[in-house]
Structure 1
Amino acid sequence: MELVDYVSTFICVAPDTAAVAGVAPRPHGETPTVASAIFDMLTAAPPYTYRSSDVIFTVWADRNDVPPETRPEVWPTFFQGPHACLRSSDLGKKYGWGIHADADGRLAVYALGTPEYSALAAGFSRDGSPVKVTRAMRSGR
């Protein structure tokens, strides 16, 4: 696992978010925003398909036009430096989405205000096992 991967963790929305429910982020123009690219990747696949490292790398590679055939070679070099984790994503800061990483580090998103979000925010996963609860980073100081 890369240093950006979480396990058995739920990232709640930021304490200073204005969101009251989960809203799908949309691209500005033709280019997807980072938040919309992350959201689309996580919701297009079945829940708990990708790890944080998969998402962060794929979104970066797509935005930087890295050809799919060279991505396995680029992966180790990409993760040699520091990278923002999903706590800094606008999904939790602006759009009202919590991100759950299961015991294997695989992700799913849950909208603020849903029963699933509430259970995870209380520290319990779908199977009743405990999860560490953290928050998305604040947008301001």
Structure 2
Amino acid sequence: MKDMNYYSTFIEVSEDCPVRVAQIPEAKAGSKTIPVLQYEMIANHPYKYTQEDVVFEVFALRNEIPAEERQAAREKFFSKGQPCLRTSSLCKRYGWGMHHDPEGKVALYAVESDEYRKFVNDDTIKNVKAMRSSRA
């Protein structure tokens, strides 16, 4: 299985992100959306989870996969390509940058924060932009 994680990388907000101040995503119709689940997982536990952990755990929660079936489900899930966090609405719509440390663990930084600017200007890590929401 190919390693999907980023290491020593900062994902900047997309070029067409509509906000200049980060927003916390909200549940819709009483249901937690993918951005809400991603936000809660990363914001409440900075540098605890890798990209693979976040992408799979959100999938598992939304599909109500029981804990005892998660390992097998994870292997099956990653046996085909999966979108990375560059496609996350947190970076595309809500104004959050994501820093992946040398171990691949991720944390969120608001686009307006000093920390965000430091990561953008840090030459010791790789910087990539989140995917655009619309075509150029």
TM-score bin (small chain): over 0.9
Q: Percent identity?
A: 37
Aligned counterparts of 1:92 and 1:80: Cα–Cα separation in 2? 25
Q: CA deviation at 1:2?
A: 4.8
For 1:87-126, what per-residue CA distance to the aligned partner results, in whole angstroms no more than 9, with x for missing partners?
00000110000000000000000001101000001125xx
Aligned mates of 1:40, 1:4 — CA distance in 2: 21
- Larger displacement relative to structure 2 (89-98 or 25-34): 25-34
Write out the 4+ residue segments of structure 1 that deviate beyond 2 Å after TM superposition.
1-4
Give 2:134's aligned residue. Answer: 140
Q: Could you tell me how far apart the structure 2 residues matched to 1:123 and 1:21 are?
A: 21
Secondary structure in structure 2 of the residue aligned to 1:134: strand
Other structure's SS at 1:72 match: helix
TM-score, L = length of structure 2: 0.95
Partner amino acid for 1:38?
A: Q
Q: Give unpaired runs (5+ residues) of structure 1.
A: 125-129
| TM-score, normalised via structure 1 length | 0.92
Q: Distance in 2 between matches of 1:68 and 1:27?
A: 24
Q: Does 1:63 align with 2:69?
A: no
- CA 1:41–1:140 in structure 2 vs 1: closer, same or farther (change >3 Å)? same
**What is the identity, as a one-letter code, of the residue corresponding to 1:42?**
I
| Other structure's SS at 1:59 match | helix
How far, CA to CA, are the matches of 1:2 and 1:44 in structure 2? 27
What SS is found at the alignment partner of 1:75? helix
Unaligned 5+ runs, structure 2: none
- How far did 1:21 drift? 1.1
How far apart in 2 are the matches of 1:15 and 1:84? 19
Q: Name the amino acid aligned to 1:115.
A: D
* Alignment-derived partner of residue 94 in structure 1: 93
In terms of mean alpha carbon deviation, does 26-35 or 82-91 score higher? Answer: 26-35
1:23-38 to 2 correspondence within 5 Å? 23-38=23-38
Question: CA shift at 1:3, angstroms?
Answer: 3.6
Cα distance in 2 for residues equivalent to 1:21 and 1:44: 19
In 2: Cα distance, 1:39 partner to 1:4 partner: 19
How do 1:46-85 residues align onto structure 2 when only pairs under 5 Å count?
47-85=46-84
- The size of the alignment, in residue pairs, is 135
Q: Deviations over 1:11-55 (max 9, x none)?
A: 00000111101110111122111111100111122x200000000
